[in-house]
Structures are given as structure tokens and as C-alpha cells.
Amino acid sequence: MASELPSIRPTFGTHRKVLEAVCALLDRPRCLEFGPGPFSTPLLLRHASWLISVEHDPAFARHLGFPCTADIAHEVIIETDLSRHIGIARRLGPFDLVFIDGAREVRADLVLATLQLSRVVIAHDTDKPSYNWERLDALGAETRVDFTAEPPWTTVFSIHGELLEPVRAFRAAFDANPG
């Protein structure tokens, strides 16, 4: 059974630094995470005031050891039906930060659905065309900041322009020194 589980070696690339910077900007955000993992969940638990982690694969969640314990409110929701993930966000929102790193089939849909429910949405692996990211091209540059200096890419979305300005400044510094 364990051989069927995906590797849990995290690929940091851009998302570690981006998550840390946005969490600092939002100051103890109320977070929703699609696709908990060995890196993002502990990071969010350190920075958030409240975290809901949604996972579609019960075996993967068990492999990671969820539920976690933390000093903040943390709820883990196992929902195998990907079509219900958007409903979970709508039912439990609003949020300060939504982090999307779950099932590739619904990542673009989750960005579109949660943009109105959250101050900031962060999507990981935006360099992978098979995830249907082109559906988000219509959102326009004014709603997104792409971190492409290191793969895998990460994109920060927000309809609140004042929140993207410090993210753009962080990207300029990051691009100058990605390591």
C-alpha cells in the first residue's frame, strides 16, 4: 500500500518563500488549504490564526499524519469528491488566505471560486500546463503576481490591488536573488 502513495518530498521552488511573505503581510491570517503537505501545513500552522486543510486522498492524509496538533484551530476535512471542494470553501469562507496545492483537476476552478472569498489566493505549480492554468489568463495582470524565477512556479492572486503591491515588491527582490 505504501508504495502506491506519492512521494512526500516537498518541492519548494518558490512557494515556501511566497507563503512566508504573504503570511507576514496578512498577520495571522485565517487560512484554507487545498492539498495539505509536509511543508505547507506546518508553515501555515506557524503563521495562521486558523487553518482548514482539505485533502481528497484519505491514505495520503494518514501518511502525512493528519490531523496535526497546534496552538491554533486546525480542522482537517477529507473529501474524496473533488466537485464538493468549492462548496466547502463557500460554506466556510471568507478567508484571508487560500493556498491551492491539491488535486490538479480542480486547481484552476478553485482559484476562480475562492478569489471572491479570500483576500489572497496562492496557487502552487503554476508552471505545469496539464493543470489547465490557461483558464486563468483572462483574470489579467492586475489580479496576479507570478513567481517564475525557480520551478515549480507559484502565483499569487487577489482582487485587492493594495495587497498585491507589496507582493510585487517582494517578487522584484526575489527575482534579484531567488536562492
- The DSSP annotation for 13-38 comes to TTHHHHHHHHHHHHSS-EEEEES--T
Query: What percentage of the chain carries pLDDT values higher than 70?
Result: 87
Residue 3 lies in a domain: no
Contact 61, 80 (CB under 8 A): no
Quote the distance between the C-alpha of residue 6 and its chain's center: 19
Q: Is the dihedral of CA 165, 144, 115, 92 positive or negative?
A: negative
At which of 19, 45, 80 does a domain end?
80
Domain count, the chain: 2
Residue 23 lies in a domain: no
Residue 20 lies in a domain: no
Q: DSSP alpha helices (H): ranges in 33-160?
A: 40-47, 58-64, 85-92, 107-114
Domain range enclosing 66: 36-80
Same domain, 75 and 111: no
State residue 70's pLDDT score.
58
Q: What are 69-118's pLDDT values in tens digits?
A: 556 688 889 999 999 999 999 999 999 999 999 888 999 999 999 999 99
Each residue's pLDDT, cut to its tens digit, for the chain (179 residues) gives 343 434 444 455 668 889 999 999 998 999 999 999 888 898 999 999 999 999 999 988 888 776 555 566 888 899 999 999 999 999 999 999 999 998 889 999 999 999 999 999 999 999 888 888 888 888 888 899 999 887 888 999 999 989 999 999 999 988 887 66
Same domain, 132 and 161: yes
Residue 58 lies in a domain: yes
Same domain, 100 and 57: no
What are the backbone dihedrals phi and psi of residue 89, each rounded to the nearest 5 degrees, phi first?
Answer: -60, -45
pTM for the whole structure: 0.88
